[in-house]
């Protein structure tokens, strides 16, 4: 299947870009004609940034799973839709053809309807990276239920917070998951979470590890029993729901600069078009290729580039349950060889963690099928970029550095593999439809090249965030208020002499640890829950593998004098953070301090704490406005 809107050369990129900016109605109207709709749209785009109101394809009706599955059946019924590579390399991999995926999704969608889930209901999904996770997500979309996938590493408290915010009535989970040499309990964490919230009336449990779990009668249902029930009763499969273009497809929680994660809402038609368009263009996907995105479906990358992008394009998408370094650091390369992977999409953190092992794990691995390599989630340093390009791609596979966010739904700034030029550590040029704008501190637009500023987007695009669930004002305040008439990304950015963009990192109080977004306020809240903590301040610092590490300055309610007590306390604080958020938010360093550098109005001067954490102890800038300038000396003295 040749996709008519796939850009074939640089000249065509420039032409399409121009048209998309000058006439978005025609441009995105044309692209959308290549999808299946129940009803056509009345207008392609309507947008009012001041109220954070944008609609795409208003008036249209569709079902996204028909576009991801049903429409491929005739041509690709027997082609693999999903290849599942289990954590344990000794266990067989599984393949679901498009026909099998259709059957399983349609059947499970019927199960959901049968247990009372209706269009618009929120369903949280807390599972490991197994095919049933994909099936659960797609089954929700098929009946018009709004899915909210919660990353399997989040704690009971984090699940409860999300369930409460989304007012979810159902959770789909599994008994446990495998990650490397660990078996991770999932259902027991859901049980704990449900002690903290009471909206959930059904928990559907898929049996994966076979570990012993509690099932609460009347609330907990086995996946396989529910499937058997509709089979035995001969209940016909549910027809796909016909939903409005702007019907919410999913909520995905992401960290911001406040302590409470936001529920980013994406709607159906615009998100579908954007995930598909960016997939076929950035990766230059060709028919029958195998696409391996190593992200977890609990993050936006997994939503857009394991599920909706590849499946809407009729691709074969590979789901991997495990981790890159188990049983050894050659696991990714074994998978690429075993499943003849054409496109590999991963995070700089993963690349850096594999570089540490040198070239040996790559030796003898046949990676000649690899045609495109992608990175996402954080800035990639030049060294990692070159290693990826040379050692993994053998300089034969273009590297695409894709910049985007949970809120943007799909890639915004990236080279198009082999079509537009690459530049190490640069995301390079915007996708069609994306008009980047750099702003200075005073809200003025920065014109010209060789400049840097805060990155905004000046025009609506199909995959953009529509609201923050349950609190639209928060969406306006966070994204559309800093610069009138612009979407503000929260990222700093430079534009080089050729107009290429390089994302330099967050300019707000959000950390990017191993490609995961973590709010400093969230980590501080968690640390402060430890009864011995009075106050804390969290900042990021450069970390060789994770990109950024978490550095916590902590004031205790009584001084610790011996090392042993300090170590015990550190361990306890780490446990508190794990319980409140999850292991991903654990600080790498904890320094006990007697005070924090605050202004007279009580604001913590993080700039100073950041410099100390970075080891830059000389040029701390102006400290005269501090309430107690001497505190800085004592923090420097106590630095680890």
Q: Which residues bind ligand PRX (CB under 6 A)?
A: 254, 300-301, 376-379, 401-406, 427, 489-491, 503, 505-506, 512, 517
The rounded distance, in Å, linking the Cα atoms of 69 and 571 is 48
Structure tokens at 248: 């919410």
Sheet (strand 372-376) strand order: 94-97, 80-85, 316-320, 290-293, 343-346, 372-376, 399-402
**Closest distance of CB 533 from ligand PRX, Å:** 27
Q: How far is the CB of 556 from ligand PRX (least distance, A)?
A: 32
Looking at beta carbons, which residue is closest to ligand PRX? 406
Q: Which is nearer to ligand PRX, 454 or 530 (CB)?
A: 454
What's the rounded Cα separation, in Å, for the pair 540 and 312? Answer: 38
**Bridge partner list, 495:** 451, 501
Query: At its nearest, how many Å lie between ligand PRX and the CB of residue 326?
Result: 23
How far is Cα 305 from Cα 309, in angstroms, rounded to an integer? Answer: 5
Nearest CB to ligand PRX, comparing residues 332 and 403: 403
Q: Which residues of 341-370 are buried (b: 16+ CB within 10 A; e: fewer)?
A: bbbbbbbbbbbbbbbeeeeebbeebebebb
Query: Which CB, 75 or 383, lies closer to ligand PRX?
Result: 383
State the residue for tokens 């390369």: 333
Minimum distance from residue 508 beta carbon to ligand PRX (Å): 9
Q: Which two tokens stand for residue 15?
A: 């032409």
CB of 345 vs ligand PRX, minimal distance in Å? 11
Between residues 268 and 406, which has the closer beta carbon with respect to ligand PRX? 406
- Strand 445-446, strand 436-439: pairing: antiparallel
Residue closer to ligand PRX, measured from CB, 136 or 427: 427
Q: Rounded CA gap, 543 and 520, in Å? A: 16
DSSP run (H or E) holding 99: helix 98-114
- Of 540 and 597, the one with the shorter C-beta distance to ligand PRX is 540
Residue 173 or 304 with smaller CB distance to ligand PRX: 304
Pairing mode, if any, of strands 467-468 and 80-85?
A: unpaired
Nearer to ligand PRX, 80 or 293 (CB): 293
Least Å distance, CB 380 to ligand PRX, is 7
Q: How far is the CB of 515 from ligand PRX (least distance, A)?
A: 6
Q: Which residue has the tokens 């007279």?
A: 600
Number of residues assigned to the chain: 640
Minimum Å distance from CB 98 to ligand PRX? 27
Q: Which residues contact 133 (CB under 8 A, 6 or more apart)?
A: 125, 127, 149, 297, 319
Q: Where are the alpha helices (DSSP H) in 248-373?
A: 268-282, 300-302, 309-312, 331-338, 348-355
Q: Which residues have C-beta within 8 Å of that of residue 186, sequence separation ≥ 6?
A: 126, 127, 128, 152, 173, 174, 175, 176, 177
CB of 512 to ligand PRX, least distance (A): 5
Residue 199 or 381: which CB sits closer to ligand PRX?
Answer: 381
Nearest distance from C-beta of residue 502 to ligand PRX, angstroms: 8
Of 289 and 406, CB closest to ligand PRX:
406
| Burial of residue 564, with CB atoms counted within 10 A of its CB: 0-12 exposed, 13-18 middle, 19 or more buried | exposed
């Amino acid at each position: 299947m040749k996709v008519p809107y796939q850009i074939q050369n640089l000249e065509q990129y420039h032409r399409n870009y121009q048209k998309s900016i000058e006439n978005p109605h025609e441009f995105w109207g044309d692209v959308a004609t290549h999808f299946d709709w129940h009803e056509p749209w009345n207008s392609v785009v309507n947008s009012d940034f001041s109220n954070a109101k944008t609609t795409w394809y208003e008036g249209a009706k569709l079902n996204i799973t028909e576009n991801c599955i049903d429409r491929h059946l005739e041509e690709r019924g027997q082609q693999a839709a999903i290849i599942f590579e289990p954590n344990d390399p000794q266990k067989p991999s599984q393949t679901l053809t498009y026909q099998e995926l259709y059957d399983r999704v349609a059947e499970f969608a019927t199960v959901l309807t049968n247990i009372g889930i209706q269009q618009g209901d929120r369903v949280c999904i807390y599972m490991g990276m197994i095919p049933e996770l994909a099936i659960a997500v797609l089954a929700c979309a098929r009946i018009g239920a709004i899915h909210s996938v919660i990353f399997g590493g989040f704690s009971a408290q984090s699940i409860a917070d999300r369930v409460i915010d989304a007012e979810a009535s159902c959770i789909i989970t599994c008994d446990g998951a495998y990650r490397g040499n660990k078996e991770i309990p999932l259902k027991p964490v859901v049980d704990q979470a449900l002690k903290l919230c009471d909206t959930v009336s059904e928990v559907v449990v898929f049996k994966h590890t076979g570990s012993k779990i509690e099932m609460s009668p009347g609330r907990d249902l086995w996946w396989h029993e529910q499937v058997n029930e509709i089979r035995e009763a001969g209940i016909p499969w549910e027809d796909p729901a016909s939903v409005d273009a702007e019907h919410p497809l999913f909520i995905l929680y992401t960290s911001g600069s406040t302590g409470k994660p936001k529920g980013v809402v994406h709607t159906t038609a615009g998100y579908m078009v954007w995930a598909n368009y960016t997939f076929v263009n950035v990766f230059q996907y060709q028919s029958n290729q195998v696409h391996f995105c190593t992200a977890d479906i609990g993050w936006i990358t997994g939503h857009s580039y394991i599920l909706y992008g590849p499946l809407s394009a009729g691709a074969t998408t590979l789901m991997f349950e495990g981790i890159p370094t188990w049983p050894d650091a050659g696991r990714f390369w074994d998978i690429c060889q075993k499943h003849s992977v054409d496109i590999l999409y991963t995070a700089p953190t993963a690349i850096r963690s594999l570089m540490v092992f040198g070239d040996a794990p790559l030796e003898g691995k046949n990676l000649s099928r690899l045609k495109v390599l992608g990175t996402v989630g954080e800035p990639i340093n030049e060294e990692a970029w070159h290693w990826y390009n040379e050692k993994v791609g053998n300089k034969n596979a273009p590297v695409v550095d894709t910049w985007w966010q949970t809120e943007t739904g799909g890639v915004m700034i990236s080279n198009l593999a082999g079509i537009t030029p690459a530049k190490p550590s640069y995301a390079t040029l915007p996708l069609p439809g994306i008009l980047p704008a750099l702003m200075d501190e005073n809200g003025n637009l920065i014109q010209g090249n060789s400049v840097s500023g805060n990155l905004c987007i000046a025009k609506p695009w199909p995959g953009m965030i529509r609201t923050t669930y349950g609190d639209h004002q928060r969406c306006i305040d966070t994204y559309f208020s800093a610069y009138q008439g612009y979407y503000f990304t929260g990222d700093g950015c430079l534009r080089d002499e050729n107009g290429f963009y390089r994302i330099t990192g967050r300019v707000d109080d959000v950390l990017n640890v191993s490609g995961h977004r973590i709010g400093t306020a969230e980590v501080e809240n968690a640390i402060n829950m430890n009864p011995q903590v009075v106050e804390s301040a969290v900042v990021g610092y450069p970390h060789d593998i994770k990109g950024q590490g978490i550095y916590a300055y902590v004031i205790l309610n009584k001084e610790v004098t011996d090392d042993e007590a300090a170590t015990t306390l550190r361990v306890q604080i780490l446990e508190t953070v794990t319980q409140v958020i999850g292991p991903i938010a654990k600080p790498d360093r904890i320094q006990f301090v007697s005070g924090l550098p605050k202004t007279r109005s009580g604001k913590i001067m993080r700039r100073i704490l950041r410099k100390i954490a970075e080891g830059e102890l000389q040029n701390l800038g102006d400290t005269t406005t501090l309430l107690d300038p001497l505190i800085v000396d004592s923090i420097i003295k106590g630095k680890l």
